[in-house]
Amino acid sequence: MISFLILMATVVCFSAILALALNFQWGLGGMVNFGLAGLYALGAYSCALLMLKGGANTFFATLGAMAIVAAACGIIALVTLRVAEEDYFAIVTLGAGEMLRLAVLNEDWLTKGALGLTGVPRPLGEIIAPEHYQYFQLGLALGVLLGTVWFLNVIARSPFGRIVRALREDDVVAATLGKHVLWARVRIFAIGGAIIGLAGSFHAFYYQYIDPTQFSNIVIAYAFMAVIAGGRGAHYGTIAGAAIVMVLLEGSRFIKDLIPMLDSDQLAAIRIIIIGVGLILLLIFRPQGFAREYRLQVEIR
Amino acid sequence: MLQTAFNGLITGIIVTLPALSVTLLFGVLKFPNFAVGAMMTLAAYMVFALNVQLGWPLTIATAAVAVAFGGLLIVIDYLTFRPLRQRDSITLMVASLGLGFVLENIARLAYGNTARSFAIELARPFRFLDIRMNREQMITVVVSTLAMLAMYFLLTRMPIGRAMRAVSDNPALALVRGIESPRIIRWTWFIAGMLLAVGGVLIGMDRALEPPMGSSYLIAAFAAAILGGLGSPLGAFVGALIIGIVSELATLVIPPNYRIGIPLCVIALILIFRPQGLFGQPYIRK
């Protein structure tokens, strides 16, 4: 049971990193990302392939995956350089995500298609004894999660963070004030992409086996649910949201014990239905989420 | 080559119906609806239930579901999008994405992931000038053309169609002229529901019924609508034909698995070179 809780906490950690990435792009920057599942897959596969085919160690593979996903996100953001409408951007991200998932499924020579990649190495996997490894993994995941939050907090309070929020509120005003909207957008999306790559790498380390089915729509549904529940723009709220959604998701495995005639496809369908309904209900009744975005506040005495 | 172009034309004709729904819904509600694909899936499975499980003829089943689905979408809109009407379009897009997940997985919950097909008897394909054309493709052409003519008539000749265009053009002005937008929104959903139900059946006839069938046409439908200029019904029609032919011809050069990449490239090119689409008005931000 302890072991289950530790593994669960590790999953929550890297899922929270993914949710933080979406929170930065969408919650802070107002750039909605419907291609999250494909980009997450890109991160996980880049990391795994850099190690398996490129011979990189886990640290450089993670950095490489972050760079690759950041570049992909930057290119996606560049496509919309002439239109400032979020509508088009959402459609482009959706299509790009689908393309990435198709590529993972069809490029057998590289990704082994539906079979998936096995034997992905783990950080310090040879040095640490297998019976202690889960503790180390949780510690590492927690450390990286805290590092990500620290990094995002620094950005959110920096001058660049103010541009990010200004773009979300009104890009025309930001442009009028002399801010380079396109370049800022590319940077926002690329930074988010690097964090998606980080989360994807941890996904690969944790499961040690990746296949295309792990990167289905449930990833998108889960991340949006976590960000909305946590409150758009609120980092700690997003982490809490990610933890709650993940516990609910994992907990829904026990529905099978209650209703035995469901097969695994139906169970997966029920989980997505619950998340989808929850998403809409949250948007209607609690759009601001359960935590608040950081605001610079001054006490007036 | 000719056969490929012809197949592309058929693909394009199939895309016209969802593309038209996308553009109508965008015109009146001002956000791209990502649930359109899943709506087609659900409608196709409803037709499947009547056609295969209850043994109704396909035409009657489709007509019944088209009307019922139009009504269902009005109810869905009332429950999900109406409370969000005043929010920004990102919120509405996210809600529609969530709705899409729900609808697609209701179909998956009921019928699983196995591919199914409608009960239609097989017929020998026709040949005309070296082009092979099977009966399903003929039905597709006839049904889509009729639907398009009906839509053209509705939008240009009927009061409700003119009101829809007015609301899509300038909601405030339409309101001043006494056009009630809630009524127009209900009608738009009803018409979109009928188009999507027929579109879902055509996709199911062309390929097979499986939960992702509708979503796989989502990008193509968006590409067609954007190519024609979002909000322009005629543009959506022309855009869909172009998208269909180009993506089918492209399979001569690129692997067919990446067919979905063509609409995506088309979107990227339009956004870079002509953001308003072929038939749209340049958009001026206020």
Q: What is the pLDDT of residues A195-237, one digit of tens each?
A: 999 999 999 999 888 988 888 888 898 899 899 888 887 888 8
Q: Which residue of B has its CA nearest to A76?
A: B268
Considering Cα of B110, then B112, then B115, then B121, what sign does the dihedral take? negative
Say what the pLDDT of residue B283 is: 52
Residue A250 vs residue B199, higher pLDDT: B199
CB pair distance less than 8 Å for A287 and B230: no
- Which domain does A123 fall in, by range? 8-215
> Does residue A93 sit within a domain?
yes
> Does residue A14 sit within a domain?
yes
Its ipTM equals: 0.86
User: Burial letters for A216-227: b for 16+ Cβ neighbours within 10 Å, e otherwise?
Assistant: ebbbbbbbbbbb
Residue of A88, A168, A261, A270 to mutate when probing chain B, most B C-beta within 10 A: A88
Say what the pLDDT of residue A294 is: 63
Q: What is the DSSP secondary structure assignment for residue B127, as one 8-state letter?
A: E
Of the candidates A32, A105, A273, the beta carbon closest to that of B105 is on: A273
CB pair distance less than 8 Å for A82 and B271: yes
Average pLDDT, chain B: 86
Q: What length is written for chain A?
A: 301
Could you say which residues from 56 to 95 on chain A have a Cβ atom under 8 Å away from some Cβ of chain B?
79-88, 90-92, 94-95
- Which domain does B170 fall in, by range? 2-273
CB pair distance less than 8 Å for B101 and A82: no
Confidence of residue B91 (pLDDT cuts 50, 70, 90): confident
Structural domain count of chain A: 1
Task: Of B123, B118, B143, B145, give the one whose Cα is nearest residue B134.
Answer: B123
pLDDT digits (tens, 9 = 90+) for A71-109: 999 999 888 766 656 788 888 899 899 889 888 888 888
Task: Please report residues of A whose CB lies closer than 8 A to that of B219.
Answer: 91, 94-95, 98
CA atoms within 13 A on the CB side of B176: 4
> Does residue A51 sit within a domain?
yes
Nearest-angstrom CA–CA distance, A253 and A255 = 5
> Does residue B284 sit within a domain?
no
Task: Please report residues of B whose CB lies closer than 8 A to that of A82.
Answer: 271-272, 275
> Does residue A118 sit within a domain?
yes
Helices vs. strands in chain A: H and E counts, helices first: 13, 0
> Does residue B81 sit within a domain?
yes
The pTM score is: 0.89
Task: Please report residues of B whose CB lies closer than 8 A to that of A172.
Answer: 285
**CATH label of the domain that carries residue B202:** 1.10.3470
From the number of C-beta atoms within 10 Å of its C-beta (0-12, 13-18, 19+), residue B71 rates as: middle
Confidence of residue A193 (pLDDT cuts 50, 70, 90): very high
For residue B23, the Cα-to-chain-centroid distance in whole angstroms is 9
> Does residue A279 sit within a domain?
no
From the number of C-beta atoms within 10 Å of its C-beta (0-12, 13-18, 19+), residue A178 rates as: exposed
Q: Give bridge partners of residue A210 from the DSSP assignment.
A: A117
> Does residue A66 sit within a domain?
yes
State whether residue A196 sits within 8 Å of chain B by CB. no
Q: What length is written for chain B?
A: 286
What percent of chain B has a predicted confidence (pLDDT) above 70? 93
Structural domain count of chain B: 1
> Does residue B283 sit within a domain?
no
